[in-house]
Amino acid sequence: MSNLSEKVTVIHIVGTGRNGSTLLERILNEVPDFFAVGEVGWTDLEKMEECNCHCGKNFQVCPAWSAIMKEDDFQKIDKKGMAEWRDKYRNSSYIFKSFLDKKQDFSDMFEKYLYNTYLFYHAVQKSSACKYITDSTCSAAYCHNLSLVPEIDLYVIHLVREPKGVAHSRSITKYWPNSKVVWLPRVTPWSAAITWVKRNLFIELAFAKRKDRYLRVHYEDLIENPTQTIKRIGKLLGLELKQLDFIDGKNVVLGDTHLTGGNIYVSAKTGKTVLKLDERWKRDMKWWNVALVSLITWPLMLRYFIVDKIKKHS
Ligand SMILES: [Zn+2]
């Protein structure tokens, strides 16, 4: 990829899914110079013309994406190849091998995948004239692949949510347009808890050592104090976000959104929105599932919800 030079800044929100990533991305979209693309890692670029943007319009007539899709870089993307490669290179065994391969001896096909990924974000940056692109694919593997593109200036926002809330949310099916599955399958609490531990551990192992590129934030803090969370993200990027006019306490004014994918129910919210913690698990989860999830996740829970809090207040 030595023929490329222009860098693209991508802020990737990574975590377990059902962790408030769409909400965080929508709030970031309101910050000047930010443009939110949603869950690009799950989007089938080949079928975009048949799908709708989260603004409700078909991608071909959406004002944001119709312009992006006309960009030279977007036209150059091998969309058929991307559909095949994204599944191949999100495979966990491949990622683990790639993570351990310090020599970074990539196959030609993998190089093509990375090059086409860059073309996508470059087309977005050129068309929207933004400085920062946010992506809420949430996948640790996709995030790792992004980190391998030298022309992508990557910042990793590790979004952690209380595991019982994640497990409860994942036990409910949800409509998820523009993805392969459309309806997200139900996941058992114990499986959700194991994934929560594995995913968070991998994210820390892969990205936390880069202190200037990695920030861990909590869904619960985002809801409680959105200004503070957004300012912390700004600080990571070297931005001093003094005034966030669209946030007043827990009230956030959400404008237009052009996400490719994500929580469609969150995308439907526009205008003044009051942030509220989703704690339905406290009411609806069986006590034995609460106990099981707590048993599986307690060491990391301690780290994220006790140690992190102490550090923040010290
Ligand atoms: Zn749109």
pLDDT at 263 over 90: no
Spatial strand order in the sheet of 214-218: 34-36, 132-138, 8-15, 152-160, 214-218
269 part of a folded domain: yes
**Does residue 49 fall inside a structural domain?**
yes
Q: Give yes or no for residue 134 having a pLDDT over 80.
A: yes
How confident is the model at residue 39, as a pLDDT? 93
CA of 224 to the centre of ligand 1 (A): 29
Give 81-112 pLDDT, tens digit per residue: 998 888 888 776 666 677 777 666 678 888 99
Residue 187 resides in a domain: yes
Q: What is the pLDDT of residue 104?
A: 65
CA of 58 to the centre of ligand 1 (A): 7
Q: How confident is the model at residue 245 (pLDDT cuts 50, 70, 90)?
A: very high
Q: How far is the CA of 311 from the centre of ligand 1 (A)?
A: 40
User: For the packed helices 163-170 and 287-302, what is the interaxial angle rounded to 10 degrees?
Assistant: 140
Asked if pLDDT for residue 253 goes beyond 60, the answer is: yes
Question: How much distance in Å is there from the Cα of 52 to the middle of ligand 1?
Answer: 8
- Between the CA of 28 and the centroid of ligand 1 the distance, in Å, is 16
Is 2 domain-assigned? no
Q: Is the pLDDT of residue 53 over 90?
A: yes
Q: What is the mean pLDDT of residues 139-153?
A: 93
Q: In this structure, is residue 3 part of a structural domain?
A: no
Question: What's the gap in Å between 201 CA and the centre of ligand 1?
Answer: 34
**137 Cα–ligand 1 center, Å:** 17
Confidence of residue 203 (pLDDT cuts 50, 70, 90): very high
The DSSP secondary structure of the chain, one letter per residue, reads -TT----EEEEEEEESSSSSHHHHHHHHHTSTTEEE---GGG--GGGGGGSB-TTSSBTTTSHHHHHHHHSHHHHHS-HHHHHHHHHHTT-HHHHHHHHH-TT----HHHHHHHHHHHHHHHHHHHHH--SEEEEEEE-HHHHHHHHT-TTEEEEEEEEE--HHHHHHHHTS-EEETTSSSEEEPP--HHHHHHHHHHHHHHHHHHHTT-TTTEEEEEHHHHHH-HHHHHHHHHHHTT------TTEETTEEEE-----SSS-HHHHT--EEEE-----HHHHHS-HHHHHHHHHHHHHHHHIIIIIHHHHHH-
In this predicted structure, the answer to whether residue 1 has a pLDDT above a threshold of 60 is no
CA of 79 to the centre of ligand 1 (A): 20
Supply the mean pLDDT for the chain.
Answer: 91
pLDDT of 2 reads 44
Query: For 63-84, how does the pLDDT look when each residue is reduced to its tens digit (9 = 90+)?
Result: 999 999 999 999 999 999 998 8
Task: Quickly list DSSP for 20-75.
Answer: SHHHHHHHHHTSTTEEE---GGG--GGGGGGSB-TTSSBTTTSHHHHHHHHSHHHH
Cα 112 to ligand 1 centroid, rounded to whole Å? 28
Determine, yes or no, domain membership for 188. yes
Q: What is the pTM of this model?
A: 0.92
Residue 56 Cα to ligand 1 midpoint, Å, equals 7
2 CA to middle of ligand 1, Å? 33
Note the pLDDT tens digit of each residue in 295-310.
999 999 999 998 888 8
Mean pLDDT of 179-187: 76
User: 35 CA distance to ligand 1 centroid (A)?
Assistant: 12
pLDDT at 155 over 60: yes
Domain with 144, as residue range(s), is 8-313
Under the banding of pLDDT at 50, 70 and 90, the label for residue 173 is confident
Whether 193 has a pLDDT exceeding 80, the answer reads yes
pLDDT of residue 255: 94
How far is 25 from 241, CA to CA, in rounded Å? 16
Calculate how far, in angstroms, residue 54's C-alpha sits from the geometric centre of ligand 1: 6
Among 97-106, 126-135, 228-237, the least confident range: 97-106
Give how many domains the chain has, as a whole number: 1
What is the rounded average pLDDT of the residues 195-213?
93
CATH number of the structural domain spanning residue 87: 3.40.50.300
Q: What is the pLDDT of residues 10-26, one digit of tens each?
A: 999 999 989 999 999 99
Assigned domain for 69 exists: yes
The rounded Å distance from CA 66 to ligand 1 centre is 8
CA 280 to centroid of ligand 1, rounded, Å = 31
With 0-12 / 13-18 / 19 or more C-beta atoms within 10 angstroms meaning exposed / middle / buried, residue 94 is middle
Mean pLDDT along residues 247-253: 96
